[in-house]
Chains A and B, each alone.
Chain A
Amino acid sequence: MAETLFQKVWNAHAVRTLPSGQTQLFVGLHLIHEVTTPQAFDMLRQHGWGVAFPDRTFGTVDHIVPTDTQRRPFVDLMAEEMTTALERNCREFGIHLAGPAEAGGAGGPGSPGSDDQGIVHVIGPELGLTQPGMTIACGDSHTSTHGALGALAFGIGTSQVRDVLASQCLSLDPLKVRRIDIDGRLAPGVYAKDVILTIIRRLGVQGGVGFAYEYGGSAVDHMSIEERMTLCNMSIEGGARAGYVNPDDTTFAFLRGRRFAPQGDAFGRAVAWWRSIASDADAPYDDRVRLDAASIEPTVTWGINPGQSVGIGEPLPSAPGDEAVDEALAFMGFAAGSRMEGTPIDVAFIGSCTNGRLSDLEEAARIVRGRRVAPGVKALVVPGSRRVSREAEARGLDEVFRRAGFEWRGAGCSMCLGMNTDRLEGRQVCASSSNRNFKGRQGSPTGRTLLMSPAMVAAAAIAGHVVDVRTLLDEVPA
Chain B
Amino acid sequence: MTPDAPAAGAVNVITGRGIPLRGDDIDTDRIMPARFLRATSFDGLERHLFEDDRATRPDHPFNDARFAGATLLVVNSNFGCGSSREHAPQGLARSGIRAIVGESFSEIFQGNAAMLGVPCFAAERQAIERLQTLIEQTPDLTIAARVDSGLITAGPLRLTATLPAALRDGFLSGQWNPTAMLLDRFDEVRAVASRLPYLNGF
Contacts and interface: CB of A to CB of B under 8 A. Distances in A.
Contacts of B189: 15, 24, 26, 52, 167-169
A419 B38 contact: yes
A205 B25 contact: yes
A266 B106 CA distance: 40
A19 interface: yes
**Range for the number of chain A residues in contact with chain B:** 35 or more
Interface string A46-63: 010100110010000001
A205 B81 contact: yes
Contact of B192 (A15, A19, A166): A15
Given A15-B188, A239-B78, A439-B29, A21 B181 contact: no
Contacts of A419: 34-35, 37-38
A20 B199 contact: no
Contact of B196 (A12, A81, A205): A12
A217 B35 CA distance: 40
Contacts of A24: 181-182, 189
Contacts of B30: 438-440
B108 A20 contact: no
A319 to B, nearest CB: 14
A363 B188 CA distance: 48
A49 B182 CA distance: 12
A134 B192 CA distance: 13
Interface residues of B, number: 64
A39 interface: yes
B198 A166 contact: no
Nearest to A43: B179
B43 to A, nearest CB: 10
A439 B52 contact: yes
A2 B164 CA distance: 28
A7 interface: no
B124 interface: no
Given A12-B196, A305-B27, A440-B30, A20 B175 contact: yes
A141 interface: yes
B82 interface: yes
Contacts of A262: 198, 201-202
Given A158-B86, A438-B30, A169 B196 contact: no
Interface centre among A18, A53, A323 (most CB of B within 10 A): A18
Contacts of A305: 25, 27, 81
Interface stretch (A100-108, A185-193, A282-290, A441-449): A441-449
Given A163-B178, A206-B77, A419-B38, A134 B33 contact: no
B35 A173 contact: no
A33 to B, nearest CB: 11
5 contacts: A22-B178, A141-B83, A239-B81, A269-B197, A439-B29
Interface of B: 23-25, 27, 29-30, 33-35, 37-42, 52-53, 55-56, 77-78, 81-87, 89, 104, 106-108, 111-112, 115-116, 164-167, 169-170, 173, 175, 177-179, 181-183, 185-186, 188-189, 192-193, 195-199, 201-202
Given A24-B182, A159-B112, 4 more contacts: A13-B196, A20-B170, A26-B189, A160-B111
5 tightest Cβ-Cβ pairs between the two chains A and B: A157-B112, A445-B52, A157-B86, A38-B40, A159-B115
